[in-house]
Amino acid sequence: MYNLDLDRVVGEIRKNKAKKVLIQLPDGLKPRAETIVDYVEKHTKSRVFLWLGSCYGGCDIPNTGLLKFDLIIQFGHNKFVKEEL
């Protein structure tokens, strides 16, 4: 019903040569996590991790500096333009 665009996901991982990838999903797509991880692990050599917490929008990117991920893939939203208040 919703296009997860998994071929694009794999393409981005390859293009960025990402070895450690963090997947972030809004609540409605969290039940699809298994499908996404299985597909990515089958088609790339990257190690895939899942963000457990919130995913309210493009403004809500996890602050994961210490864990040194190469790529974060957030589903369900698009680019967020931060407003200067």
Contact residues: another protein, CB under 8 A: 1-5, 8-9, 12, 16, 22, 28-29, 53-54, 56-61, 63-65, 69-83, 85
Kindly state the smallest distance separating residue 22's Cβ from another protein, in Å: 8
Rounded CA separation 11/68 (Å): 21
Please, which residue, 45 or 53, has the CB nearer to another protein? 53
Kindly state the smallest distance separating residue 55's Cβ from another protein, in Å: 11
Nearest one of 12, 22, 67 to 44, comparing CA atoms: 12
Nearest one of 26, 50, 27, 28 to 38, comparing CA atoms: 50
